[in-house]
Structure 1
Amino acid sequence: MTSLKLYTAIYVVLFVIATAQVAVERAGFLDSMYWTAFVAILVLSTVKALFVVGYYQHLKYEPRAVTLVVLAGLVGALALTFAAAYSII
């Protein structure tokens, strides 16, 4: 049985992280300190993704092989994100 308190706490954490991402963008850090802001947003996005995958998609309770497949996809997505950011400059 899933815990409503756990899901509510995770929702609040995800909401706070999303608010922090918007705050980084709205504060103008993407204009003045691009790479610092980029890394901050990337780290926050990774944390959010891990919470969503671990709890809402129940990957926390799956066999390790399924977790590794998902992590390989995450690494691929991060590589594409870095490549896209590098090509903009």
Structure 2
Amino acid sequence: MADVRTYSLIYVVLLVLGTGKFAFFEFLTYELALAGTIILAVVKVLLIAGYYQHLLEEPRAISYMMGMAVFMVFLLTIAAGYSIQ
């Protein structure tokens, strides 16, 4: 289990990444800001899942199962978006 220093560092990184979204939309074009925001969101999800949900300490099979679940949700979202049109 990680110590308080690691959790504090991850919290600060998440705070900086959240501020980055604001800076992107202030200083970049909409398309670049949107792409940057998506990349920052993926990084934030990986940090939260890895450290706060302790997936880094779990066996790899559980991490693969979580990844498969996220992939299935992604496919469901694509299918729902396709059926709406």
**Under a length normalisation based on structure 1, what TM-score does the superposition of the two structures give?**
0.71
1:55 counterpart = 2:51 = yes
What stretches of structure 2 of length at least 5 have no aligned partner? none
Runs of 4+ aligned residues of structure 1 deviating over 3 Å after TM superposition are 73-81
Relative contact order, higher structure (CA 8 A, sep 6+): 2
Q: Which deviations, in whole Å up to 9, do the C-alpha atoms of 1:41-81 show, x marking residues without a partner? A: 11100000000000000000111121112222334555648
Structure-2 residue corresponding to 1:70:
66
Structure 1 residues 78 and 25: CA distance shift in structure 2, 3 A: farther
Structure 1 residues 73 and 65: CA distance shift in structure 2, 3 A: same
What stretches of structure 1 of length at least 5 have no aligned partner? none
1:42 counterpart = 2:29 = no
**Under a length normalisation based on structure 2, what TM-score does the superposition of the two structures give?**
0.74
Question: What secondary structure sits across from 1:59 in the alignment?
Answer: coil
